[in-house]
Structure 1
């Protein structure tokens, strides 16, 4: 029994864009995208889907077995990776959502999000190499001086040069205040970097002609902690009049890992490497966050991409694999055994896979659209609303999607039974590959703290209002379209519950500094689950307004399934938050 081939979910992309977001109507009012219509967007994603299905997906399994290797100080990527990347650049995919003034195509983040979901589904290891290109472009565009923008933006935008994000050091993982890499100023205005970095994805590779490292380091007069970090650009090859000249940057090793084995995770050494300051001294973290926020959205899409891959693999296998008879048997059943897709236990897993994956796709697209609005709208209330929504949603997408993607991949493996543990069926690789997404670009625990402590409690419960207003608006739309609509009533109810518990936690935190940290993970999961309720209320409502089609009928059934089953998670998370907030157990004595 052969593993199925990846099929880009183009029909679902179109459904989300055309009906859930009414994207074409939205693009018409944004000056940056007024010439874009749904037909053009469909063609773009069809071409992206062909590349992912025909070029990247066939390389995924072999690359997992072959891995990367280090020879004479240079990383060699798996067979076919370099050629695939050359095709990717030739087709212009790195420039998709970049500013036309620097060589980009100026298409919306909404399409770039769909592209990156497909890349992760087809070949996560390969997708790691261009994964932070857009973030690097945004960082240089916002913080580079004229020389940096002129010299480095064009090859970054085109994808001819790849980029890395160099944060982690052996003694400093999530605590960036412990970073030790030094930056010493030179008379010509450049700097020399001295230090070591670990866990650098794509720190070296044979796919692009140059690599641009964005490095956090300390100037000699830097204050302690994160306030003393500055951001530097250090290319592997320095552009000079005579051509590209090697810098003193070295790859000392690559990690043997649980998953994404086609991605080179490197240990890097900077020996007086020449570098240039990005932004202002001692404000490197603020400059880096432009890049990190983009990276965190893309990591969330990795969770979604693996959920889609797991769903496709499990669905195909469940219809091909015949085991036992189902009682009562379907009228069309033949033979001594039925496809396991007819067995209730498997149907429950398959339903969860479909409904959670398609719901996350609505939420991902909605988040990307908020980024488009924030970037393209003139200053005003609507732009501020979009910025607030994007800020709140970024940690939720990163954490909730990756956690759910791992759980769904694990559930999908169960459909295969013993075959799921065998490499040839691909699902075990999906499970291994997606696990890292819960860790890097800020662990999921850090995302939860970012949401509850920094973005909500530090401001007050009113910080949640942009989400609550959107959810309540959708609830009202559902109730207006269908009297006593259970989706609208439930979404309104859970919006109220979330507002109440947020208000309680913010009040409690004024005299209990630990309560937010204890509740943060369950709080983020609760927000994510209510976001899914919003996504399915929207998808169900717009499906009821369309002519009867099998797709719309399935969407309505999926919405019913989510509100009957998936939304039960919200009650669980709310109960955990309430119990934790009321607990008198001294947790520090338990560890």
Structure 2
């Protein structure tokens, strides 16, 4: 049986010591989240993750969701009660606008606890996660009346939300969608069509479900320019907020999936359903991307979350399972064999996972702070640059953290050997659950193209140059420090490779766009590698300073330094391979005739 412990101490180290969270006290909401409050929130979230959500993970996977003939969906045993506890604790509105019942605390804190919930039970955490994304879209693009009508009940957790994009014939290319919206005399619309892969599309945990649906108004232009966004509630909502008759939206079936069995991924049929335009006509993608960007960051967090719980269980197993003897001689002479953690290849797996998790956590929280600045800072230029930085980092976080999350779930499974292939030990579920994160909310190949094709050149490359400057200045400022020169040397090499790859695109992608497409995956991972390396350099600097000051977390801090050295020695050198593949261009990739495949 697997186990889970929320990494609260590591989160506190990153927030308080590395990112110096308290310096943001001038931003709205941060003053209400003092260090003692943050710690209390994290510990309570960790407790709920460990004691309430985690025990339902394996049973939920085995039981799955069931659909009745009338389209109603029942979630696995215990989920409804767990969601009630989530709702009563106020987690849904932790970082949301107080005007609609939220607590207004930092998005950074919301992100930190989101890791714990997703590690404990990814399928469960998706229900509130989709709701929070829908809340964000309505908050930014909805009318005052729509916000007053829908947001308070969603913030309270009594109503949940979804996003409806994909159709049987179109996923990434949303310009092909066929769902139709017909204007009505009262200003509403009738929605007709079918959506697939709708996470949390129907379930029994909330009183109402507020669907955000992309559709084309009759007569609208073809392609993405003619797409609008609509609010389509499961039950109609009266002017006084009371629920009325059932709307014309029903779950046609539950998708049979590889993983996340406890989340009701539905085929949703819209037949004469009443919907309400949100935002402007034909501007639906812009409104939906408010939700998509938040969802993409949440999916990146899922990659980290699965990697973390998989690592925890692999490390525990490696210390317990005896097999063979250490190459240097018996490590446990009183036993018939040594625990497998003595073997270098097992250590390679464990250290690689650990190095990714601890840097990934710092990267996510660093990015979440950028989001808080973008939405809360008084200075307009500061907000704008932080917004651009978040746009740049969103595909990196989503793509890199989910690719590596799956890779490291497989790595953890490998540590278990044959037992990793047996359902009892839980590793199979983590591999299956992690796989979807590389696909939904924009497949990772699309994330890479978005990074290279849109985010790099945005505003003359201002965001990427700001990132290069931040990392470069850190290396230069600490180059003369003997205790840090090892880390800055490796980080600077990675940064040089990233800058060289960026320049190669500038020189070679305009004339031959396939060069950008062929190198985009490697570029995304090269960018992620440098970002994670930067996080390790920041953590190493902090650990050195704390040790010099006599901090009583000696073992914890020394472990940080060892893991940082491992990352720089064994992981960061991959930057050279990424650069070599990018620089090779697209010729050999694109040359083979189609009929040869």
Once residues 320 and 484 of structure 1 are traced to their aligned partners in structure 2, the CA distance between those partners, rounded to angstroms, is 35
Q: How big is the shift at 1:472? A: 1.3
Once residues 462 and 383 of structure 1 are traced to their aligned partners in structure 2, the CA distance between those partners, rounded to angstroms, is 14
Please list the CA deviations of residues 3-39 of structure 1 after superposition, one character each: whole Å capped at 9, or x if unmatched: 242100001100110111000122x121332232111
Please list the CA deviations of residues 110-150 of structure 1 after superposition, one character each: whole Å capped at 9, or x if unmatched: 11111111111111111111112222111111111122111
* Equivalent pair of 2:514/2:586 in contact (CA under 8 Å): no
Once residues 592 and 155 of structure 2 are traced to their aligned partners in structure 1, the CA distance between those partners, rounded to angstroms, is 49
1:133 to 116, 131, 134: 131
Q: How big is the shift at 1:415? A: 0.8
Question: 1:232 maps to which residue?
Answer: 230
Once residues 50 and 408 of structure 1 are traced to their aligned partners in structure 2, the CA distance between those partners, rounded to angstroms, is 25
Question: 1:71 maps to which residue?
Answer: 68
Question: 1:512 maps to which residue?
Answer: 512
Question: 1:114 maps to which residue?
Answer: 112
Q: How big is the shift at 1:584? A: 8.3
Q: How big is the shift at 1:582? A: 6.8
Once residues 484 and 118 of structure 1 are traced to their aligned partners in structure 2, the CA distance between those partners, rounded to angstroms, is 31
Question: Unaligned stretches of 5+ in structure 1?
Answer: none
Please say if 1:562 is aligned against 2:564: no
TM-score normalized by the length of structure 1 = 0.97
Question: 1:388 maps to which residue?
Answer: 388
1:550 to 528, 548, 555: 555
Q: Secondary structure at the match of 1:44?
A: helix
Distance 1:291 1:587, change over 3 A: farther
1:149 to 132, 147, 150: 147
Question: 1:339 maps to which residue?
Answer: 339
Distance 1:145 1:381, change over 3 A: closer
Once residues 584 and 285 of structure 1 are traced to their aligned partners in structure 2, the CA distance between those partners, rounded to angstroms, is 32
Q: Secondary structure at the match of 2:121?
A: helix
TM-score normalized by the length of structure 2 = 0.96
Question: 2:3 maps to which residue?
Answer: 5
Once residues 487 and 480 of structure 2 are traced to their aligned partners in structure 1, the CA distance between those partners, rounded to angstroms, is 12
Once residues 31 and 131 of structure 1 are traced to their aligned partners in structure 2, the CA distance between those partners, rounded to angstroms, is 23
Q: How big is the shift at 1:170? A: 0.6
* Equivalent pair of 2:164/2:212 in contact (CA under 8 Å): yes
Instruction: Please give the residue correspondences for 1:489-500 in structure 2 after superposition, counting only pairs within 5 Å.
Output: 489-500=489-500
Instruction: Please give the residue correspondences for 1:536-547 in structure 2 after superposition, counting only pairs within 5 Å.
Output: 536-547=536-547
Once residues 473 and 222 of structure 1 are traced to their aligned partners in structure 2, the CA distance between those partners, rounded to angstroms, is 50
Question: 2:192 maps to which residue?
Answer: 194
Once residues 331 and 427 of structure 1 are traced to their aligned partners in structure 2, the CA distance between those partners, rounded to angstroms, is 27
Please list the CA deviations of residues 403-462 of structure 1 after superposition, one character each: whole Å capped at 9, or x if unmatched: 000000111111111111111100111000000000000000110011000111465555
Once residues 587 and 308 of structure 1 are traced to their aligned partners in structure 2, the CA distance between those partners, rounded to angstroms, is 40
Once residues 516 and 236 of structure 1 are traced to their aligned partners in structure 2, the CA distance between those partners, rounded to angstroms, is 43
Q: Secondary structure at the match of 2:161?
A: strand
Instruction: Please give the residue correspondences for 1:465-480 in structure 2 after superposition, counting only pairs within 5 Å.
Output: 465-480=465-480
2:584 to 575, 579, 586: 579
User: Which moved further from structure 2: 384-393 or 533-542?
Assistant: 384-393
Please list the CA deviations of residues 54-80 of structure 1 after superposition, one character each: whole Å capped at 9, or x if unmatched: 011110101111111101310111000
* Equivalent pair of 1:457/1:506 in contact (CA under 8 Å): no
Once residues 484 and 32 of structure 2 are traced to their aligned partners in structure 1, the CA distance between those partners, rounded to angstroms, is 40
Q: How big is the shift at 1:510? A: 2.1
User: Which moved further from structure 2: 153-162 or 223-232?
Assistant: 153-162
Question: 1:523 maps to which residue?
Answer: 523
Q: Secondary structure at the match of 2:253?
A: strand
Q: How big is the shift at 1:480? A: 4.9
* Equivalent pair of 2:230/2:277 in contact (CA under 8 Å): yes
Q: How big is the shift at 1:361? A: 0.6
Q: Secondary structure at the match of 1:245?
A: strand
User: Which moved further from structure 2: 82-91 or 464-473?
Assistant: 464-473
Instruction: Please give the residue correspondences for 1:171-210 in structure 2 after superposition, counting only pairs within 5 Å.
Output: 171-210=169-208
Please list the CA deviations of residues 350-379 of structure 1 after superposition, one character each: whole Å capped at 9, or x if unmatched: 111111111111101111110011111123
Question: 1:431 maps to which residue?
Answer: 431
Distance 1:481 1:101, change over 3 A: farther
Q: How big is the shift at 1:463? A: 4.6
* Equivalent pair of 2:325/2:331 in contact (CA under 8 Å): no
* Equivalent pair of 1:478/1:487 in contact (CA under 8 Å): no
Distance 1:339 1:482, change over 3 A: same
Please list the CA deviations of residues 533-586 of structure 1 after superposition, one character each: whole Å capped at 9, or x if unmatched: 101111111110003511111111111111100102211111110112575861
Q: Secondary structure at the match of 2:262?
A: coil
Please say if 1:373 is aligned against 2:378: no
Q: Secondary structure at the match of 2:212?
A: strand
Once residues 536 and 220 of structure 1 are traced to their aligned partners in structure 2, the CA distance between those partners, rounded to angstroms, is 53
* Equivalent pair of 2:349/2:411 in contact (CA under 8 Å): yes
Please say if 1:165 is aligned against 2:163: yes
Question: 2:50 maps to which residue?
Answer: 53
Once residues 453 and 401 of structure 2 are traced to their aligned partners in structure 1, the CA distance between those partners, rounded to angstroms, is 20
Question: 1:252 maps to which residue?
Answer: 252
Once residues 572 and 310 of structure 2 are traced to their aligned partners in structure 1, the CA distance between those partners, rounded to angstroms, is 22
* Equivalent pair of 2:115/2:305 in contact (CA under 8 Å): yes
Q: Secondary structure at the match of 1:580?
A: coil
Distance 1:584 1:76, change over 3 A: closer
Distance 1:570 1:87, change over 3 A: same
Q: How big is the shift at 1:478? A: 2.9
* Equivalent pair of 2:355/2:567 in contact (CA under 8 Å): yes
Q: Secondary structure at the match of 1:193?
A: strand
Once residues 111 and 169 of structure 1 are traced to their aligned partners in structure 2, the CA distance between those partners, rounded to angstroms, is 34
User: Which moved further from structure 2: 205-214 or 105-114?
Assistant: 105-114
* Equivalent pair of 2:324/2:338 in contact (CA under 8 Å): yes
Q: Number of residues paired by the alignment?
A: 588
1:211 to 203, 209, 213: 209
User: Which moved further from structure 2: 301-310 or 565-574?
Assistant: 565-574
Q: Secondary structure at the match of 1:130?
A: helix
Please list the CA deviations of residues 217-267 of structure 1 after superposition, one character each: whole Å capped at 9, or x if unmatched: 001121010110000000001112563321111111001111000011101
